[in-house]
Amino acid sequence: MPIKSFRGNIANGGIDTVPLSTNDGSTGYRIKSLRVIGSDPINNEDEGVIKVFTISQTTATSTVDFSDQTLLAVGVWTSRATSRSYPINENVYFDNVTFNQDIYITCVESATGNALNYYIELEQIKLDLNENTVATLKDIRNVA
């Protein structure tokens, strides 16, 4: 299956939209990879969280709740530029869920308020009518 990639630099407290929806909903996606890196990892001390959701978010928070059915992925980035005893660290977790609508990426960077970069790879999947219906109903259920 084809892989689509998206990347961006998202400000502290920012929310990005990745447009994926189609008119008929017959194209689905699954996250294959999510990478997070600071804007200047050599010179900045960063501690940030990037989260990927299936529904639009009004605010970005650093709280991670894996029981949230709309949360698709979380990337945590830590960099200690002034203290070499703490290495650069990245932890990424994502769910193997198929979706067919836009996704929303949030960023919270608590150490300096700097922006973080993200790179996400999505596997593109052709959905049959049943899979399309299930993915669409999941999206509708999560809006309420």
Range of the domain at 90: 3-143
Q: Under a CB-based contact definition with an 8 Å cutoff, are residues 124 and 1 in contact?
A: yes
pLDDT digits (tens, 9 = 90+) for 45-82: 788 899 999 999 999 999 999 999 899 999 998 887 66
For residue 34, give the CATH number of its domain.
2.60.120
Is the Cβ–Cβ distance between 71 and 51 less than 8 Å?
yes
pLDDT digits (tens, 9 = 90+) for 1-47: 799 999 999 999 999 999 998 777 788 899 999 999 888 777 777 88
Q: Which residue has the higher pLDDT, 111 or 56?
A: 56
Query: Are 64 and 49 a contacting pair, CB within 8 Å?
Result: yes
pLDDT for the residue numbered 143: 55
Higher pLDDT residue, 139 or 74? Answer: 74
3, 6, 17 from 135: Cα distances, Å: 19, 21, 19
Number of domains in the chain: 1
Q: How much is the pLDDT for 39?
A: 82
The pLDDT value recorded for residue 109 is 87
Rounded CA-CA distance 64/50 in Å is 10
Say what the pLDDT of residue 95 is: 81
pLDDT at 144 over 60: no
138: pLDDT confidence band, cut at 50, 70 and 90? low
pLDDT tens, residue by residue, 80-98: 766 555 566 778 888 888 8
* Residue among 106, 113, 108, 90 at smallest CA distance from 44: 113
